[in-house]
Amino acid sequence: MAYKNLQHFIEVLEKAGELVRIHEKVDPHLEITEITDRVSKKYGPALLFENTGYDFPVLINAMGTEKRMAMALGVDDLDDIAKQIESLFNTFTTPKNSFLEKLSLLQQLGEVASWMPKNIKGRGACQEVILKDPDITKFPVLKCWPEDGGPFITLPVIQTKDPNTGQRNVGLYRMQVFDKKLTAMHWHRHKVSARHFNEYKKAGMKMPVAVTLGGDPAYAYSATAPLPDGVDEFLLAGFIRKKRVELVKCITQDMYVPADSDIVIEGYIDPQEELILEGPFGDHTGYYSLADYYPKFHITAITHRKDAVYPATIVGIPPQEDAWIGKATERIFLAPIKMTMVPEIVDMVLPIEGVFHNLCIVKIKKDYPGQALKVMNSLWGAGQMMFTKMMVIVDGDVNIHDNLEVAKYISANTDPGSDFVFTQGPSDVLDHSCSAMAFGGKMGIDATQKFPEERPGASHHTDSDPVNVPGDDIKKIFPEIISINDSLLRSDISVIFISIEKNRKGHINDTAEKLLNEFPELRGIKVLVFLEHTFDISDISDAVWRFSNNFDPKRDHRIIHSSGNNNLSTMVFDGTKKSKEFDGFERDWPNILASDETTIEYVDSIWENLGLGPFIESPSKKYRRQLYKGGAVAEE
């Protein structure tokens, strides 16, 4: 389904009871974030803030549930798009014998051609208003979190082109606003737009850039999609919409943009210019990404629809709206991965707690020994999957969309001494746990049922015996251990979370070894996860989120081997904050995200005027208790 424009999508959401209009005055400076954070963590509605102190309403959380994400892409279920891709692929790869079959193929080719983006003459609705003196500060650009470096455009669809081939790339990167005609352009070194930038730099040319906001929501999604090089994101948008994207030429730059966009920001980047210090920014990991240098984007024109809506999103501690954008990618790109790379894959999940790149669970049809390792290595070599920190491979009848069921399956089918593998490679730039930026450890877990060749001479069993954890006795001997969460043991999941006040070098490994020596009954536990003493480890979901962010697999694991034939080895994971003093960690460690007390109190006071139903307490109250000393950068 193609939406005529963003207003059409808003109408559909409202008719379905999926949108709330907020008439109360709300400031884009921190207040919209605080309200949206409360709503998104309850999987609440899309929000249209109509009174922001600016001329433009703000739409946020529009794709903030799986249902609305599917609505944005015009389908009933996100798996529908994967099925369409699979059907299309089969149509073109299956041999055609009869004339009618070949004729049908021509019809399919014609349909594909109808999805190709097309440049049209004249001006589009996005150019109904042309600002004579472009000023981005006239728009309700959000400052999301207290330590952010300034206001950020958070849902920009950014178009660049290769200066040598003219090939277009469409991406979604945040943009910090510095003044009315200047922003930063935050693209990471692995992105295609960054490669375009380098080509312009070699050629000594200024780089034209076009940024659009709004229009069909398929544009914003397609800008995030992990497409192969050379595949136009607007072709994907056309496939999703089943209607081509019509593009009009910009006013001041030799670029083309979707005609139905709400807002167009035209400009250029001069690669010869000095970079600008951008950030910090409260990011999708739930931590601040820290200040760094990025290109300057100079605005030459701004145009917009007469009835333009400013679309935005916030990211932070999951769940947020971006979790469902990631869910769409998980479902849509499963089919291409199966068909072109790893045919044994049955299903794949990127759990919300893993913030896309920290954790991936893959289910396969296993036919031979070592197949799980083959799949891990294939996926680590596939596009953006190279950033995946932890990859778990399962098989059998396990439902990988049920976290508890998956955890039980992993526990039942692994020996930490042989089924956990460690390597290293490219990491996401936002992974703060790496000792070196964008390069760190990776862990694969083979949780498949094993063939005899994979368990040669095994005399132990894979199921752990029930363990009674003597928590009070442990804390008497180890006063630095603040709390122990052994609740998963009662679900046959052999994992214990331990919060500890780390106070010396080697503290985690020393404590783990002494713990197993003092309490031999714990030697049946397969995994011990250590987290910080300030963290409430009673929340398993949050524990996984914190652990997966703070853990470099190659550096932060230790295997304590069993001393007898009947016990399995124990894997020890250090998910605590790393420091120079105790860990030799040289990089700055970021703080977690939480609203400030003033903003929380103000939103509390206006809640009944927002039309959002029963009061929702601020999630930040919980996380403020876990903040490190300092600002965006945690103090040592």
Q: Which residues are catalytic?
A: 283
Q: 371-403 b/e with 16+ CB inside 10 Å = b?
A: bbbebbeebbebebbbbbbbbbbbbeebebeeb
Q: 591-622 b/e with 16+ CB inside 10 Å = b?
A: bbbbbeeebbebbeeebeebebeeebebbbee
CA distances from 527 to 411, 459, 558, 573 (A): 9, 20, 10, 8
Tokens, residue 228: 């192969």
Taking a C-beta distance cutoff of 8 angstroms, is the pair 238, 154 a contact? no
Helices (H), 306-370: 321-332, 334-340
The position carrying tokens 């995030």 is 224
Rounded CA-CA distance 393/363 in Å is 6
Rounded CA-CA distance 177/122 in Å is 30
Rounded CA-CA distance 30/40 in Å is 15
Which residue in 473, 553, 565 sits closest to 519, CA to CA?
473
Rounded CA-CA distance 510/114 in Å is 64
Rounded CA-CA distance 58/50 in Å is 7
Q: Return the bridge partners of 345, or none.
A: 364
Pairing state between β 296-304 and 182-184: antiparallel
Which residue in 45, 62, 88 sits closest to 332, CA to CA?
88
CA distances from 569 to 414, 518, 522, 526, 560 (A): 10, 16, 11, 7, 6
Tokens, residue 407: 């955890």
Q: Is residue 203 classed as helix, strand or coil in its secondary structure?
A: helix
Tokens, residue 453: 């060749």
Which residue in 397, 386, 329 sits closest to 364, CA to CA?
397
Taking a C-beta distance cutoff of 8 angstroms, is the pair 92, 108 a contact? yes
**Which CB contacts under 8 angstroms, 24+ apart, belong to 373-377?**
373/421, 373/444, 373/446, 375/342, 375/344, 375/345, 376/421, 376/444, 376/446
Rounded CA-CA distance 183/174 in Å is 10
